[in-house]
C-alpha cells in the first residue's frame, strides 16, 4: 500500500470516528447542561474530531526506539487519549468544575474535572482499536526497520 494512502486512511478513519463521538456529545451537552452555549457544543465536536485525527496519525508509530518496546494499539490509544484529555482538563479546569458541580444524581459523584482523563483513555482506545482494524498499524515499507 502506498504510504500516503495508508496515512490518509488512518487519519480519515480516526477523524470520522472522532466526529461521530463529537456529534454524539454535541447533542448530549444540552441534555446534561441545559442552557449551555453553542460554543461549548461546537468546541466538543471539533475537539473530538481533532482527537480522532491525532490518534490516527499516532498509529504510524508502532515502536519506541529509545525504550525498545512495541507500541500496540491498546497502549497508544490509552496513553495518548488520556494525555489529550489531560491537556483539555488542565486548560478548561475552571469551566469543567462549574459544569460538573451542577450535575445531579449518580453523575454528581464524578464532580472532579480530571475524570475526563479516564474518558479520554477509553475514547482513545476505541478510536485506535477501530482505526487499526480498518487501516493497520505502523508505517508500511518499514519492515525490519521499525521493530527490533
Among residues 19, 76, 26, the alpha carbon closest in space to that of 51 is found at 19
- Give the separation between CA 100 and CA 80, rounded to whole angstroms: 24
pTM of the model: 0.83
Phi, psi for 69 (deg, rounded to 5)? -125, 150
With contact defined as beta carbons under 8 Å apart, do 18 and 50 qualify? yes
Segment 114-124, tens digit of pLDDT: 888 999 999 99
Phi, psi for 34 (deg, rounded to 5)? -60, 140
With contact defined as beta carbons under 8 Å apart, do 57 and 15 qualify? no
Segment 49-97, tens digit of pLDDT: 999 999 999 888 888 888 888 888 899 999 999 999 999 889 887 877 7
Calculate the alpha carbon distances from 108 to 24, 32, 101, 118 in Å.
21, 12, 7, 16
Amino acid at each position: 500500500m502506498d504510504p500516503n494512502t495508508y496515512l490518509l486512511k488512518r487519519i480519515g478513519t480516526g477523524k470520522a470516528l472522532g466526529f461521530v463521538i463529537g456529534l454524539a456529545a454535541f447533542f448530549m451537552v444540552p441534555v446534561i447542561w441545559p442552557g449551555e452555549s453553542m460554543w461549548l457544543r461546537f468546541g466538543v465536536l471539533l475537539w473530538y474530531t481533532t482527537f480522532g485525527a491525532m490518534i490516527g496519525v499516532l498509529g504510524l508509530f508502532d515502536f519506541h526506539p529509545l525504550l525498545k518496546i512495541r507500541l500496540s494499539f491498546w497502549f497508544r490509544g490509552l496513553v495518548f487519549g488520556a494525555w489529550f484529555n489531560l491537556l483539555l482538563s488542565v486548560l478548561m479546569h475552571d469551566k469543567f468544575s462549574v459544569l460538573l458541580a451542577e450535575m445531579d444524581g449518580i453523575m454528581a459523584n464524578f464532580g472532579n474535572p480530571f475524570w475526563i482523563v479516564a474518558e479520554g483513555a477509553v475514547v482513545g482506545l476505541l478510536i485506535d482499536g477501530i482505526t487499526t482494524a480498518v487501516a493497520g498499524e505502523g508505517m508500511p515499507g518499514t519492515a525490519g526497520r521499525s521493530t527490533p
